[in-house]
């Protein structure tokens, strides 16, 4: 004798993804796991709950719910009992247990899990973006970036790009080298999105010499010579002036300090958009 699985109404004050995953996992334990699911998201009023209960009663369906607003959850449970509709509270018991164990009052705010997930995925996306468009690898990233950093080698462009990526900001960075014309895409970047980085020549000289030593190369190479550095910085300043972008001196500044200045410029632009 075959038994028909009851339908399940998923009721949530968010989108109901979590509840649907739980229901499908449970249904998989019964033969083929086929089950009719009707997901009803963003339920925030008693009138909607009454309508759902009436429909479930007609179809002899079950209601699985994730309602973080306590009053709504209680209302649903009471009305469902009156209509002889079976219900499963998928969230309440866990929230109550965590509250008892931690002695912390829950926020009772719908959609928090999705907000956390969105923040996480935006951060991952920004990190991947920073890696893909690091050091001028691909000029196509310039118009896609939230912020574009330009400057000579060893002005903290990459560390800044990664730091800002962890704040969910997509950053492309482009090195300025006298022998290489800057990408044309830079001239189309809106004001406030393009930021130049500079550094004091003597400090840059010391940083580059240490870099060469770390690589096992001669510390007196042209890359770290005062003449070469002066030439590069002058070239970079000419380009930055031509582009009309703000310039930040990163000399003796922590990445966090420079990033704070960059974000100040960036958000000031957004406030005027």
More confident residue, 235 or 31: 235
pLDDT digit string, tens, across residues 67-77: 988 899 999 99
Domain boundaries, the chain: 8-110, 118-271
What mean pLDDT is predicted for residues 84-112? 83
Say how many C-beta atoms besides its own lie within 10 A of residue 40's C-beta. Answer: 17
13 pLDDT tier (thresholds 50, 70, 90): confident
What mean pLDDT is predicted for residues 187-210? 95
Please, is 250 exposed, middle or buried when counting C-beta atoms within 10 Å of its C-beta (0-12, 13-18, 19+)? buried
Measured CA to CA, the distance from residue 106 to residue 198 in angstroms comes to 48
Alpha helices in the chain (DSSP H): 17-27, 46-59, 70-82, 92-102, 112-132, 157-165, 201-214, 226-243, 255-271
**How far from chain centre, in Å, is Cα 183?**
28
Per-residue pLDDT at 114: 62
Encoding tokens for residue 115?
Answer: 């907000």
Per-residue pLDDT at 262: 96
CATH fold of 118-271:
Rossmann fold (3.40.50)
Q: How many CA atoms lie within 13 A of 52 on its CB side?
A: 29
251 is in an annotated binding site: no
78 is in an annotated binding site: no
**What is the chain's length?**
273
More confident residue, 24 or 165: 165
68 is in an annotated binding site: no
Q: What is the DSSP letter of 1?
A: -
Per-residue pLDDT at 130: 95
12 is in an annotated binding site: no
Alpha helices in 133-225 (DSSP H): 157-165, 201-214
Q: Do domains 8-110 and 118-271 have the same CATH topology?
A: yes
107 is in an annotated binding site: no
Burial 139-149 (b: 16+ CB within 10 A, else e): eebbeebbbbb
What mean pLDDT is predicted for residues 138-157? 96
Per-residue pLDDT at 227: 95
More confident residue, 219 or 39: 39
151 is in an annotated binding site: yes
How much is the CA Rg of the chain, to the nearest whole Å?
A: 29
Please, is 261 exposed, middle or buried when counting C-beta atoms within 10 Å of its C-beta (0-12, 13-18, 19+)? middle
Which architecture characterizes domain 8-110 according to CATH? 3-Layer(aba) Sandwich (3.40)
What mean pLDDT is predicted for residues 26-48? 85
Residue 267: which of 150, 142, 144, 259 has the closest Cα? 259
pTM: 0.63
CA dihedral (222, 226, 227, 228) in degrees, to 10, reads 50
Residue % of the chain over a pLDDT of 90: 63
Q: Is residue 224 scored above 60 in pLDDT?
A: yes
22 is in an annotated binding site: no
More confident residue, 35 or 202: 202
Q: How many CA atoms lie within 13 A of 162 on its CB side?
A: 7
152 is in an annotated binding site: yes
């Amino acid at each position: 004798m075959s038994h028909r699985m009851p339908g399940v109404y998923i009721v949530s004050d968010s989108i109901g993804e979590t509840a649907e995953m739980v229901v499908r996992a449970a249904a998989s334990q019964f033969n083929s796991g086929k089950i009719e699911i009707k997901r009803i998201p963003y339920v925030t009023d008693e009138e909607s709950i009454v309508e759902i209960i009436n429909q479930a009663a007609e179809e002899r369906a079950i209601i699985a719910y994730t309602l973080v607003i306590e009053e709504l959850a209680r209302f649903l449970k009471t009305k469902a009992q009156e209509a002889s509709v079976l219900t499963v509270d998928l969230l309440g018991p866990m929230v109550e247990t965590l509250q008892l164990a931690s002695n912390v009052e829950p926020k009772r705010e719908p959609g928090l899990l999705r907000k956390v997930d969105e923040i996480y995925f935006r951060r991952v996306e920004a990190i991947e973006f920073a890696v893909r468009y690091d050091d001028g690898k691909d000029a196509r990233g310039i118009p896609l970036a939230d912020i574009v950093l330009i400057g000579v080698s060893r002005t903290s462009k990459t560390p800044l790009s990664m730091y800002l990526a962890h704040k969910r900001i997509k950053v492309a960075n482009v090195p300025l080298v006298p022998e290489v014309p800057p990408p044309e895409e830079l001239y189309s970047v809106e004001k406030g999105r393009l930021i130049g980085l500079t550094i004091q020549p003597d400090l840059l000289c010391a940083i580059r010499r240490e870099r060469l030593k770390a690589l096992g190369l001669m510390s007196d190479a042209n890359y770290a010579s005062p003449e070469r550095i002066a030439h590069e910085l002058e070239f970079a300043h000419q380009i930055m002036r031509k582009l009309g972008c703000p310039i930040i001196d990163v000399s003796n500044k922590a990445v966090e300090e420079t990033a704070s200045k960059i974000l100040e410029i960036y958000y000031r632009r957004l406030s005027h958009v």
